[in-house]
A and B are shown apart, each in its own frame.
Chain A
Amino acid sequence: MYSRTYRAAVAIPPLAWVSVFLIVPYAFLFCFSFWQVHSQSIVHQWTLANYRQLIENPVYFEVLFRSARIAATVTVLALLLGLPLAYFLSFRVRASKNLLYQLVIVPLWVSYLVRAYAWKTILGSDGVLNTLLTYSGFLRHPAEFLLYSPFAVVLTLTHIYTPFVFLPVYASFEHIPKDLIEASQDLGASRTRAFWTVVFPLALPGVIAGATFAFVLSLGDFLSPLLVGGPTGVMISNVVVSLFGAAYNWPLGAAISACMLLLVVVLISGTERLEHRLRYRGV
């Protein structure tokens, strides 16, 4: 139905932009990872030294591992918070469903920085939480670990990414035809059985999508660690940031970034394929 001119006109400009500002930069990142830095300047010598360094020096694996652990914790917590909430809104609420849904979305739109900063206020030694705990007698001294720790990073990231998990899960709950749930009840299933045998399996693609989102974005996060992480809450992206900043080793930073990019792409393709297979048998 569309002429070649039309098809070219709509396809070429975005393709061009994406090539220049997406593909080429990724390529450059890769190139940088094979170069080296000598006395404060980047030398365009092709070498695998950076990658070797990543494998040989245990520090990097440690940080990566810790980051993965934090990301996994955030994902699990976000699921524990977001999934029941999505179920509640989708199946238990009738009247104010729309309003409540919007209320969950609103925090997504509030600046990330603003929200992370607010946690700083809450978790500090003379912040809201500590003051409450010491006033009420729970603690004698303010808890130091609340701020500038992995705990604070996990808390902040969970706060940020719970709505991210909520959205696709809620969408997939809403997509389940209501008569399927009635059928399960009609056949004698209790609400719990109906959930685990019908609702959850059919919502699985959405759950996987949400979890992937939360995990990948948490893994690559560097702002929260900088704000509330302190020295013990350093994540892999912070290492990269410092390598591109004060530590001035762009090639090494690029190598880590390239690895991250690869990891993320592999993860996304994997979960996407999984989602697709689960969706096929869906409605």
Chain B
Amino acid sequence: MPAEPLLSIRGITKRFGATTVLDGITVDIKESEFLTILGESGSGKTTLLRIIAGFEQPNSGELWMQGERLDKLPPNRRNVNTVFQHYALFPHLSVFENVAYGLRAKRVSAPKLTGRVDAALTQMKLGDFSRRRPAQLSGGQQQRVAVARALVNRPSLLLLDEPLSALDANLRRHMQAELKALQREVGITFVFVTHDQEEAMTLSDRIVLLRHGRIEQIDTPREIYNRPKTQYVATFIGFTNLLAAQVDDGRARIGSLEWPYVSERRETLFSLRPEHIRIVNGDDSARPGGLRCQALVRSRVFTGASELLEVDCGGKLQLKIRISGQIASVDRVTIEIPPERLVPLIG
């Protein structure tokens, strides 16, 4: 039974001067989901977040949350809180006062306030730091304060504006795990903005991929990876091989490969993930429908957990293959492609 969406974004358009930054964005955000808005710089992702927070006004479109027009409310009256990219901690206030800020604004009574702030600090493992000033904390600690400060207000929606971009790789991975666990624990909807597709894949229940102010695809990480809709999505998320195949008479052809595919179009682009291509011994039995061909190994890159090979299948077909582990150093390989892994792309 489909539940009522928490936040309904309808036809949001935003222009800055002559540039259209967001063009008719429509998406429903569900309760208790971890949603990531993914995009390159200039895709409009931050603008969208700021519109939800209330720091920008859309030129047209509506935001509906819990039966109310959200976009008509000023930011301080929305039940939405933000974790800013550079944390925006108040430098002249202690950690405690930073976290208490929102509660004080709502005039929560003193004993309740202290209780809630202490609980939030403990939850974010900041109990020892309540008297310190932000300048005395490390980047990771500051980030936690920013999250605590937002969550203590029990918002319906938590917005996170690339909060991990300032952290180094290890800390980042650690914080990703923490945030994911936190969201599960707290049960609040998180809307997370990032340009890092790996981060998006790790954290999200669903991903909204933005490009030049328009939605390319909204899907779960698994679907968006396995069934990208467009070339942009296929190449943005992870590595892929793009095969420009000729379609004729119910079959698609490229190089020496051929597989059944019905379409009106003469030419179709297919996406094939490197790890879906197998390397087989000549005498292995072919999988049903598996497409085989001989290939010359052009280059190999050892990346630790896997090896990336570039092979030439003849007929201008160059493919990248990812195999886990290593294979012997050979010049020729036989590859096998499962046809169901060839994903047709629109656009």
Contacts and interface: CB of A to CB of B under 8 A. Distances in A.
Nearest to A181: B88
Contacts, number: 67
A187 B117 CA distance: 14
Contacts of A197: 101
B91 A186 contact: no
B135 A188 contact: no
B229 to A, nearest CB: 34
A187 B105 contact: yes
A185 B76 CA distance: 5
A180 B74 contact: no
Given A186-B53, A187-B81, A188-B105, A198 B90 contact: yes
B92 A187 contact: no
B193 to A, nearest CB: 14
B88 A281 contact: no
A107 interface: no
Contact of B74 (A177, A185, A201, A281): A185
B84 to A, nearest CB: 5
Interface residues of A, number: 21
Contact of A202 (B54, B55, B86, B91): B91
Contacts of A198: 90
B213 to A, nearest CB: 22
B101 to A, nearest CB: 5
B92 A182 contact: no
A283 interface: yes
Interface in B52-79: 53-55, 74-77
A188 B153 contact: yes
A180 B88 CA distance: 5
A187 B98 CA distance: 10
B24 to A, nearest CB: 26
B79 to A, nearest CB: 9
Interface of A, secondary structure class, is helix
Interface string A167-206: 0000000000101101111111110010001100110000
Given A187-B149, A188-B105, A189-B101, A180 B90 contact: yes
Contacts of B105: 187-190, 193
Nearest to B133: A281
A179 B88 contact: yes
A183 B85 CA distance: 11
A282 interface: yes
B102 interface: yes
Interface in A27-76: none
Contacts of A180: 88, 90
Nearest to B159: A186
Contacts of B80: 186
Interface string A105-126: 0000000000000000000000
Interface string B72-115: 00111100111011101111100000000110011000000000
A186 B76 contact: yes
Contact of A183 (B84, B92, B133): B84
Contacts of B150: 186-187
A254 B334 CA distance: 102
21 contacts: A177-B86, A179-B85, A182-B53, A182-B75, A183-B88, A185-B54, A186-B76, A186-B82, A187-B81, A187-B101, A187-B105, A187-B149, A187-B150, A188-B77, A189-B105, A190-B105, A193-B105, A198-B90, A202-B91, A281-B91, A282-B91
Given A180-B90, A186-B82, 18 more contacts: A177-B86, A182-B55, A182-B84, A183-B82, A185-B55, A185-B75, A186-B76, A187-B102, A187-B105, A187-B149, A188-B76, A188-B105, A188-B106, A189-B76, A197-B101, A278-B92, A281-B133, A282-B91
Interface of A: 177, 179-180, 182-190, 193, 197-198, 201-202, 278, 281-283
